[in-house]
Amino acid sequence: MTKLASDYHAIYLSPHLDDVALSCGGQIAQRTRSGQRVLIVTVMAGDPMENADNAYIRSLHERWGLGRDAAAQRRAEDIAACAVLGADFLHWPLPDCIYRLHPEDGRPLYVSDEDIFGDVHPAEQPLIEQIVARLRTLPEHGRCYAPLTVGHHVDHLLVAEAAQRAFGNALYFYEDYPYAQQPGKLSATLATTPMQWTPIVVSLTEADLVVKIEAISAFRSQLSTFFTDRGDLERRVRDYAASVGGERLWRKLQR
């Protein structure tokens, strides 16, 4: 693990080992190029729970081209991506939702795409406070960024809820890419809370986009999930940046 600084200009909370690079890679490149210290904390970066093995897990590992050590290989990809971005990294031991089991009967909690993009399993409510406790141990920082939860992935929901409990109104939210590129997903997410949302657009230079694309490309196992090839990755990242003016963040204010 990289040695952490005592304080950071910004901390980005990533549910998985690619979310922040996909959503915020350009602004992080911009920050670190100017000399700012940035920490990317991946919350669900741990190894699978014991006996976590089912057809859904095996199908994802096959798609990713990874074996039983998939989590370790994905952590290595994240280390490479953070090096491209110039950011420090921190990997927490909580496993991805596909590897988590019910604490009482040991059954898998999420065994399909419908599950992972559905509601958080009731058995995981205590997990939110565990994440809150960890968040409160993070180094001092200027700003903290959490997922907006576009796409409604259960791990994004857990991290966003915990971050709001830990940091309250000081929190900034980033658009979960590439889910935010899907028609209607962003507006549906913003409509789910009784808050007034304020957008903040971070303009990106060509240099920022180049670094962002290289960082995303470091997650080789995940590319087939979102893109057909490297050319598709570049086109879609650039198209979305052009559509929003760079990368877009959100603050929420009580109505």
What residue segments make up the domains of the chain, in order of their start?
Answer: 7-249
Q: Which helix (H) or strand (E) holds 91?
A: strand 88-91
Q: Which CATH number fits domain 7-249: 3.30.559.10, 3.40.50.10320, 3.50.50.60, 3.40.30.10?
A: 3.40.50.10320
Q: Is the pLDDT of residue 255 over 60?
A: no
Distance CA 246, CA 203 (A): 5
- Give the pLDDT score at 214: 98
List the Cα angle 85/89/91 in 5-degree steps.
140
Say what the pLDDT of residue 254 is: 61
Integer Cα distance of 199 and 150 in angstroms: 14
Confidence of residue 236 (pLDDT cuts 50, 70, 90): very high
The pTM (predicted TM-score) of the whole model is 0.97
